[in-house]
Structure 1
Amino acid sequence: MPTGVHIRDVREQLFDAADRVLLRGGPSALTSRAVTDEAGCAKGVLHRHFADFDAFLADFVLDRVNRMDSQAAALRESAGTGTVADNLADALTAVFGSVAVAVVALLAFRDELRARLRRTWPAGVPVLTEAATMIASYLTAERDLGRIATDADVDTLAPTLIGAGHMLFADRTGTPPEAAAVRRMVTTVLAGVVRGPQ
């Protein structure tokens, strides 16, 4: 792209480009050159908006975490409708069908990025921690409605579902798991706590 051409929403354009590079090539493919080439802009554009590439990646990860807010709200609103297993299977498929699995690999791949994120995100893996919070909030709402047992430990069930979901979706190069496999995993994890039809 010629110098001097204004790019609208440059951060979003760069973040979307990073999504595509990360999903296509994995963390080793994610370089500043790959992102700017994918975004169709000069490499200097990224460095005008971010101190360095790890600063860009940290903002990218946090932006992807913040995008989960609308998904979390929709999941909470689904409490009391459909089945608990279907609601959770759909939510987990949405989380892991997005860039989340690739972000986890990115965090494992880049030491400096992890260190930088620790300054603002002291524990856990940002995308997975936020997803676990989303699931726990939903399970709490279902517990309040009496659709899961009153003694259900939502703070253990939520990360268990995230961990098991991550294992199902971890191979980003393979075929995603079938919906029935995701639902079976959810039903197994929640066995004994769901009240009514599953």
Structure 2
Amino acid sequence: MPTGVALRDVRRQLFEAAGRVLFRDGASGLTSRAVTEEAGVAKGVLHRHFDDFDDFLAELVSERIAALDGPAADLRAGAGTGAVADRLTAALIHLFDPVTVSIVGLVVFRDELRARLRRAHPAPGIPLLTQAASVLSAYLRDERAMGRLAADADVDALALALIGAAHLLFADREAGPPAPGTLAGVVDAVIADVVQRRLL
């Protein structure tokens, strides 16, 4: 197959198929056969474009990481408006969609995939969750600079606490996502101190 547009189309087709399989069957159902069948392509197509299945998965996760740029820009553009807790709650609901939750499961349980991702995205923690925490950190840093959080607020620690708590709430595929009020209550609890101290 020629390179260029056709190559990008095949990769996009495979990534979108993987997303549908993850949404429907979870991480345990994601195999190379499931992806190619879902994409409606021959079994060998995936291996013509990727070294192996872990290479495909690494590209899939890297694309998901890159896709955080848009929501991150939108979140930061809204700094200074609305309630901080409300904006964080909405961001976490967007970040932890079912496909992302399943991808995190893949990263946690596939050692080779995690190793490849860390080479491509050198940062401590779980790839994708680490980058999501960075999105929240940047937003909270902007809010702190605008005086809407306490001047000494540790925004990196707050972001990690929010991502960790949200992941626990969203991780059970069978139970489904938490009620918005449940997530909002957790967000309020995590940031309450730095918001209240700012008001003192």
TM-score by length of 1: 0.91
Segment drifting more, 168-177 vs 145-154: 168-177
Question: Conserved in 2, the CA contact under 8 Å of 1:100 and 1:128?
Answer: no
Separation in 2, partners of 1:175, 1:116: 30
Alignment correspondent of 2:169: 168
Q: Does 1:139 align with 2:123?
A: no
Question: After superposition, what is the alpha-carbon deviation per residue over 1:126-176, rounded to whole angstroms, capped at 9, x for unaligned?
Answer: 210111000000000000111111110001100000001111111022131
Q: Displacement of 1:98 after TM fit? A: 4.5
Alignment of 1:143-158 (within 5 A): 143-158=144-159
Alignment correspondent of 1:3: none
Alignment correspondent of 1:24: 24
- Indicate the structure with greater helix content: 2
Separation in 2, partners of 1:98, 1:80: 29
* Local SS of the residue matching 1:82: coil
Separation in 1, partners of 2:109, 2:150: 40
Separation in 1, partners of 2:12, 2:145: 38
Q: Displacement of 1:107 after TM fit? A: 1.2
TM-score by length of 2: 0.91
Alignment correspondent of 2:181: 180
Alignment correspondent of 2:3: none
Alignment correspondent of 1:75: 75
Separation in 2, partners of 1:100, 1:183: 20
Q: Does 1:115 align with 2:115?
A: yes
**Structure possessing the higher relative contact order (Cα contacts under 8 Å, 6 or more residues apart):** 1
Q: Displacement of 1:7 after TM fit? A: 7.7
Separation in 2, partners of 1:99, 1:54: 17
Separation in 2, partners of 1:8, 1:165: 33
Q: Displacement of 1:55 after TM fit? A: 0.5
Question: Conserved in 1, the CA contact under 8 Å of 2:14 and 2:35?
Answer: yes
Alignment correspondent of 1:96: 96
Question: Conserved in 2, the CA contact under 8 Å of 1:27 and 1:109?
Answer: no
CA RMSD in angstroms comes to 1.7
Alignment correspondent of 2:86: 86
Segment drifting more, 188-197 vs 18-27: 188-197
Alignment correspondent of 1:50: 50
Q: Gaps (5+ residues) in structure 1?
A: 1-5
Work out the number of aligned pairs and report it: 192
Question: After superposition, what is the alpha-carbon deviation per residue over 1:79-101, rounded to whole angstroms, capped at 9, x for unaligned?
Answer: 01110000000000001125221
Q: Displacement of 1:109 after TM fit? A: 2.2
Amino acid at match of 1:81: T
